[in-house]
Structure 1
Amino acid sequence: MVISLICKVLGTSELFVLSQIELTKQFMTGRVAFSEYYVISYPFTSASLFHVLLMPIVFITGVLTHDVSQVDRLWSMLPSATIFHYAIHNYLNGNGSLRLYIYLAIALFWSTRLTYNFARKGGYSPEGEDYRWEILRSKMSHFQFLLFNALFISVTQLIILLCITAPAMIFVEVGNEDLYTGDYVFGSLLAACVILEAAADEYMWSYQSAKRHYKETGEVAKGFTAKALKRGFCTIGMFAYSRHPNFLMEQCIWCIPYFWGSYLTGKLLNWTIIGAPMYVCLFQGSTSFTEGITSAKYPEYKEYQKTVGRFIPNAGSHWVEVLEEDRTD
């Protein structure tokens, strides 16, 4: 009943879904070897199984280490690894898809850059738990946070990271058709978003580095003012027009592939839409929580919120930094 309803909503075959469930059962009970299962299963099915098996691992690790940022550390790696899996599966079945390889190349670029950015901020250190988890933990009872860790951090987030890669299935199914004009357009848009996200992260890194240096030495780094550094939050470059330009680009990076797939199929709606809305909702919720913390910490942030759009720039409005002579004495 539930499977039938899901299949109707997603517009996919119930018989196909049931056959994949049965195949997975045979693999899990040892009746089908891994090598056979990997090749004959639908690639999204085997990817789903991997993510499901990963869920208890990240949950238990988080509980034992008292650090629930395990999924955060996988965030920049899992989607591109999943797309790489799709490409390998495609190759082993004697198929080729240039657009899938292009998508994979862009995803690997995204992954490499985001992993580097996360690492330089100390995300992979033993003390690298996201500060927001600690704040949320303090607002809940031990049992409530344990439940939140199990249902959201360890399960829902991994489901989202799996589902945002679903549009790659369209590239697999279309096969090695010649590239169309739209492929170049969507591929270029996707690459541009990755580059813009990198630029936004560099603005933030430059500001945070300058702020840290100012606190330690009292020296104002070139390109900044003491007032801007004392303010506590970044308003330079892209952040003068969007409060979270990096988050905006991140959402675009995982929404564009869906529209790329829709272009290829000629249908606006298809089952691979499952990831993009969840990703957008996740960023809406996490950004609201983050801004609540920031506005409580920095008095001027509320004025910044009135002037600058959260993601999309406000028409005719942006943050103007008043330059003044800074003194360090």
Structure 2
Amino acid sequence: MALPTLKSLEECIDFKKTVEPFIPQLYDLPAKLADVLASREDIVKLYTDTNPLISGFAISIFLGAVFLVTAEVNHNYSQVDRAWSVLPTFYIAHFDVWSRLAGVPNQRLDAALLFSTIWSIRLTFNYWRKGGYEVGSEDYRWGIIRKQVPKAVFHVFNWTFISFIQSVLLYLLAAPAYVLLLAAKFEPDVSDIDMFYVAVELGLVLTEYLADQQQWNFQAAKRDYKISGKVSQGFTQAELDRGFITSGLWGYSRHPNFAAEQSIWFFFYQWSCFASKSLYSWLAVGPVFLIMLFQGSTWLTELITAGKYPEYSKYQARVGTFVPTGISAYKRSGPKIIRTSELAKKQK
């Protein structure tokens, strides 16, 4: 049996009933897969006979090994980065496909796959235009970390966090889809609240797009200014000389794109809580770990940025990291105006 026998919606997030009974399938899966491939048996049957949460987790472990080998062979540690924008959607699609093959209602999963696909398309495009898929491209922060720690320590960091833990994290972000699948037994139809969650998710994707586009426009204007000395329309020379963007959404949050990204997966987790009529569940581990990851990543990014731009510390003091701290946008402090009367008093 691939799914647990449940009596209520609340049981859909019960770890002991929905996860623990199927853990042995994880240990047996490699041998069963080898038998299927050797005898050319029906692999679809093995797929539907295996709990979808377990098979999805197994895929994330396998991909972690692929990321590890690829990173070590190429001495490039952005392998997970290249797959980041695709894997959560791939895993949600996995739950959706499994539900169809198993004959389980899948309307909520279709709705989740809709917003996730749009999220993937947008993020993949943004990563591509920044050169993320070019041969040899690597996140500059990995290079900085490599210089700060011994070589052996960095390899252990890759074997654990970079390759495997991040791979599993991307799966855990999509794992709330498992609860949506289980809840379909009790409430198969999409409700107005479900559509509200979809609308919120799409709104967050739009916010992330606007923030990234504003950053892209600023960086393009800054590059043109350095080459030609001309100030692009929509910007001022003072803004470009400052070196970092403080307009648009960036006037209220230092990282509006990061804030939206974390919120997207937190609200997806909350959607699963609503579907199971629960306030919280063990699936919080995914979005909580993502938030922790962004805390560390943002700290390193800002440490580097503050070292490059003198005014950044003032920007940090006035604008919240993720959440706005006020209703007014950031404004650069202008030079202090000294009246002639004040100057005369100082001279006396």
TM-score greater than 0.5 by the shorter chain: yes
Query: Residue 283 of structure 2 aligns with which residue?
Result: 272
Partner of 1:132: 141
Match of 2:98 among 89, 92, 98: 89
Tell me if the contact between 1:23 and 1:41 (Cα under 8 Å) persists in the aligned partners: no
- Label 1:25 to 1:127 Cα distance change in 2 as closer, same or farther (>3 A): closer
Q: How does 1:150-189 map to 2 (within 5 A)?
A: 150-175=159-184, 177-189=188-200
User: Once the 2 structures are TM-superposed, how far is the Cα of residue 284 of structure 1 from its aligned partner?
Assistant: 0.8
Return the alpha-carbon distance in structure 1 between the equivalents of residues 17 and 300 of structure 2.
36
Rounded to whole Å, the distance in 1 between the matches of 2:59 and 2:19 is: 22
Partner of 2:222: 211
Structure possessing the higher radius of gyration over alpha carbons: 2
State the partner residue of 2:124: 115
CA RMSD, Structure 1 to Structure 2 (Å): 2.1
* Pair 1:287 & 2:298 matched: yes
Q: How far is 1:179 from its partner?
A: 2.2
Provide the C-alpha distance between the structure 1 equivalents of 2:212 and 2:19, rounded to a whole number of angstroms: 43
What are the superposed Cα offsets for residues 2-40 of structure 1, whole Å, 9 maximum, x if unpaired? xxxxxx994545751344235425424526863222111
Tell me which of 140, 149, 152 is aligned to 1:143.
Answer: 152
Provide the C-alpha distance between the structure 2 equivalents of 1:119 and 1:25, rounded to a whole number of angstroms.
Answer: 35
The answer on 1:20 being equivalent to 2:25 is yes
Aligned residues: 317
Paired-residue identity, %:
36
TM-superposed CA distance for 1:321, in Å, is 4.9
8 Å contact kept, 2:67–2:79 = yes
Determine the structure 1 residue equivalent to 2:81: 72
- Name which of structure 1's ranges 265-274 and 199-208 shifts more when overlaid on structure 2: 265-274
Deviation at 1:304, TM superposition (A): 0.4
State the one-letter code of the partner of 2:99. Answer: N
For residues 226-305 of structure 1, the aligned pairs below 5 Å read 226-305=237-316
Shift in Å, 1:70 = 0.4
Kept after mapping to 2: 8 A contact 1:225/1:323: no
Q: Match for 2:233: what amino acid?
A: K
Q: Which runs of 4+ in 1 moved over 6 A?
A: none
| TM-score, normalising length: structure 1 | 0.91
Secondary structure of 1:164's partner? helix
Which amino acid in 1 is paired with 2:200? L
- Determine if contact 1:167/1:261 at 8 Å carries over to the other structure: yes
Structure 2: segments with no counterpart, 5+ residues: 1-12, 336-348
Q: Please report how far the alpha carbon of residue 273 of structure 1 lies from its aligned counterpart in structure 2 after TM superposition.
A: 2.0
Structure 1 contact 308–317 (Cα < 8 Å) conserved: no
C-alpha deviation, 1:52, in angstroms:
0.7
Asked whether the 8 Å contact 1:11–1:270 carries over to 2, the reply is no
Call closer, same or farther: CA 1:47–1:13 in 2, change over 3 Å.
Answer: closer
CA drift at 1:311: 0.1
Q: Choose 267-276 or 213-222, whichever is displaced more.
A: 267-276
Question: What is the CA distance between 1:318 and its match in structure 2?
Answer: 3.0
User: What's the counterpart of residue 315 of structure 1?
Assistant: 326
The 8 Å contact of residues 86 and 120 in structure 2, kept in 1 or not, is answered as yes
Greater alpha carbon shift after TM alignment, 279-288 vs 177-186: 177-186
In the TM superposition, residue 96 of structure 1 has moved relative to its aligned partner by 2.6
Deviation at 1:323, TM superposition (A): 9.5
Q: 1:34 aligns with which of 27, 37, 43?
A: 43
Offset, 1:260:
1.0
Deviation at 1:271, TM superposition (A): 2.9
Output the amino acid matched with 2:96. Answer: A
Q: Which runs of 5+ in 1 are unaligned?
A: 1-7, 325-329
Structure 1 position 297, deviation (Å)? 1.2
Larger displacement relative to structure 2 (305-314 or 180-189)? 180-189
